[in-house]
């Protein structure tokens, strides 16, 4: 991490190197799915797709938790709202098949609305009271999704909605294999490129936001709300904006998730998912866009690596599978969370300017 930071400083001195660096990064991003499907199989490209979606989610949550310092334990609700918005507007459920450029803004808008809906009554709450209310909000959304199959069937209940339309451009379904320039691109590959593009846009937005007037207002509120207010920041609007923007990102990620997966069910939006996304943000380095990105990629890829290696390694070491591989995988995952936080309490790659916040220093 440190080396990358150092390299960036060095590169920043010389524009030629900067462009070279970007070109190399771009080439790596373009070639990565081919490298993966050529060596470890196409499933890993799919995992990468999901990692990119989670990265988007984590960046959205980072706005709320990392920038504005509002602990949100129900963030997955916005992801759910986005996913269900997409699923309802583009599936046989109501026989609606809107094109993606129409649904994506609708999903984002609805999610933002829910963000304000959650934010408005909770503006006065602090710290952990806010956490439990957001948690409750997330559960309320999930329970409604789970039970809205009667008296009027909206969400199809626990079964979820099937046959969700994928993104299609000009009638071409992006989850199928297409030939382009003589190369076969399978669905997961094409999705990878789409997701990379959207993620890059997300990253740019986040970085620009952080350095904007609004971003500085968020940080001011995080560090000391009272002082921020005294400086003339309209804390109410700025906090609501953090909720709404964070929710928007979640909604977009949710829509993409629904279209990639092809079906949605309430099971994908349980509390543990909210907690996972929060772990990505905190473990990566709260408030630091690249740190959060790293956290998201690590925490999606690591469990998958553990999943595929839990049984073979046991077989190689002890000759048989003694421990349930699924349990072992989660066991190691939990252990990794604890160890990383113990060794690096501010996260793997914290923002360089981020000092221990005043709240942590004052002894309650």
Partner 1 sequence: MDIFAQQVINGLVLGSVYALVALGYTMVYGILGLINFAHGEVVMIGAMVALAAVSMLMTAAPEMSPLLMIAVAAIVSIITCMVLAFSIERLAYRPLRNAPRLAPLITAIGISILLQNIAMIIWGRKYKTVPELFEFDTHIIFGANITDLQVIIIGVSAILMTLLLLVVNFTKLGRAMRATSESQKVAGLMGININKIISATFMIGAGLGAIAGILVAGNYSVAHYSMGFMLGLKAFTAAVLGGIGNLGGAVLGGLLLGLIESIGAGYIGQLTGGFLGSHYQDVFAFVVLIVVLVFRPTGIMGERVAERA
Q: Which residues bind partner 1 (CB under 8 A)?
A: 65, 71, 121-122, 124-129, 131-133, 135-137, 139-140, 143-144, 146-147, 150-151, 224, 226, 271, 275, 278-279, 282-283, 286, 323-324, 327-328, 330-331, 333-338, 341-342, 345-346, 356-357, 359-364
Q: How far apart are CA 55 and CA 47, in angstroms?
A: 12
State the minimum distance, in angstroms, from the CB of residue 334 to partner 1.
3
State the minimum distance, in angstroms, from the CB of residue 300 to partner 1.
16
Beta-carbon neighbour count of residue 315 at 10 Å?
A: 12
Helices (H), 150-267: 187-211, 213-223, 225-230, 235-261
CA-angle at 297, arms to 245 and 353, nearest 5°: 65
State the minimum distance, in angstroms, from the CB of residue 196 to partner 1.
28
State the minimum distance, in angstroms, from the CB of residue 332 to partner 1.
9
State the minimum distance, in angstroms, from the CB of residue 299 to partner 1.
11
State both tokens at 100.
């993606």
Would you call 172 helix, strand, or coil by DSSP?
strand
State both tokens at 41.
């199989």
Angle between helices 100-119 and 235-261 (to 10 degrees): 140
Q: How far apart are CA 308 and CA 317, in angstroms?
A: 15
State the minimum distance, in angstroms, from the CB of residue 298 to partner 1.
13
Provide Rg for the chain, Cα atoms: 21
Length of the chain: 364
Concatenating the DSSP letter of every residue in 83-134 gives: HHHHHHHEETTTTEE--HHHHHHHHHHHHHHHHHHHHGGGTT--HHHHHHHH
Per the rule left: phi > 0, alpha: psi between -120 and 50, beta: everything else, 212 is beta
State the minimum distance, in angstroms, from the CB of residue 70 to partner 1.
12
State both tokens at 322.
């003694």
Please tell me what DSSP assigns to residue 267: G
Residue closer to partner 1 by CB (options 209, 351) is 351
State the minimum distance, in angstroms, from the CB of residue 144 to partner 1.
7
Residue closer to partner 1 by CB (options 26, 120) is 120
Residue closer to partner 1 by CB (options 173, 224) is 224
Residue closer to partner 1 by CB (options 66, 107) is 66
State both tokens at 154.
């909206």
Residue 174 bridge partners (DSSP): none
Residue closer to partner 1 by CB (options 175, 357) is 357
Q: How far apart are CA 248 and CA 114, in angstroms?
A: 9
Per the rule left: phi > 0, alpha: psi between -120 and 50, beta: everything else, 183 is beta
Residue closer to partner 1 by CB (options 183, 338) is 338
State the minimum distance, in angstroms, from the CB of residue 148 to partner 1.
10
């Amino acid at each position: 991490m440190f080396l990358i930071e150092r390299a960036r400083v060095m590169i920043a001195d010389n524009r030629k190197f900067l462009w070279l660096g970007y070109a190399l990064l771009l080439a790596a991003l373009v070639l990565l799915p081919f490298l993966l499907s050529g060596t470890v199989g196409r499933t890993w490209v799919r995992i990468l797709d999901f990692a990119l979606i989670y990265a988007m989610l984590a960046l959205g949550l980072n706005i709320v938790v990392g920038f504005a310092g509002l602990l949100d334990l129900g963030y997955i609700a916005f992801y759910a709202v986005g996913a269900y918005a997409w699923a309802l507007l583009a599936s046989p459920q109501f026989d609606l098949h809107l094109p993606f450029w129409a649904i994506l803004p609708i999903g984002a808008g609805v999610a933002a609305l829910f963000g304000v809906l959650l934010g408005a009554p909770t503006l006065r709450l602090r710290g952990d009271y806010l956490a439990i209310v957001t948690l409750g909000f997330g559960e309320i959304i999930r329970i409604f999704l789970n039970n809205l199959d009667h008296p009027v069937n909206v969400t199809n209940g626990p079964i979820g909605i099937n046959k969700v339309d994928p993104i299609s451009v000009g009638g071409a379904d992006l989850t199928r294999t297409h030939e382009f320039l003589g190369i076969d691109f399978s669905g997961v590959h094409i999705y990878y490129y789409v997701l990379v593009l959207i993620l890059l846009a997300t990253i740019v937005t986040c970085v620009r936001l952080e350095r904007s007037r609004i971003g500085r207002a968020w940080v001011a509120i995080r560090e000391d709300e009272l002082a921020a207010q005294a400086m003339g920041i309209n804390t109410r609007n700025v906090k609501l904006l953090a909720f709404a923007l964070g929710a928007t990102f979640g909604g977009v990620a949710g829509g993409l998730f629904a279209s990639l997966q092809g079906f949605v069910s309430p099971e994908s939006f349980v509390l543990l998912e909210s907690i996972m996304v929060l772990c990505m943000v905190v473990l990566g380095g709260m408030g630091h866009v690249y740190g959060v990105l790293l956290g998201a990629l690590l925490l999606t890829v690591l469990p998958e690596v553990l999943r595929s290696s839990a049984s073979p390694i046991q077989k190689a070491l002890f000759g048989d599978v003694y421990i349930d591989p699924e349990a072992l995988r989660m066991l190691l995952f939990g252990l990794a969370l604890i160890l990383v936080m113990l060794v690096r309490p501010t996260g793997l790659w914290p923002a360089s300017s981020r000092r221990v916040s005043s709240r942590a220093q004052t002894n309650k």
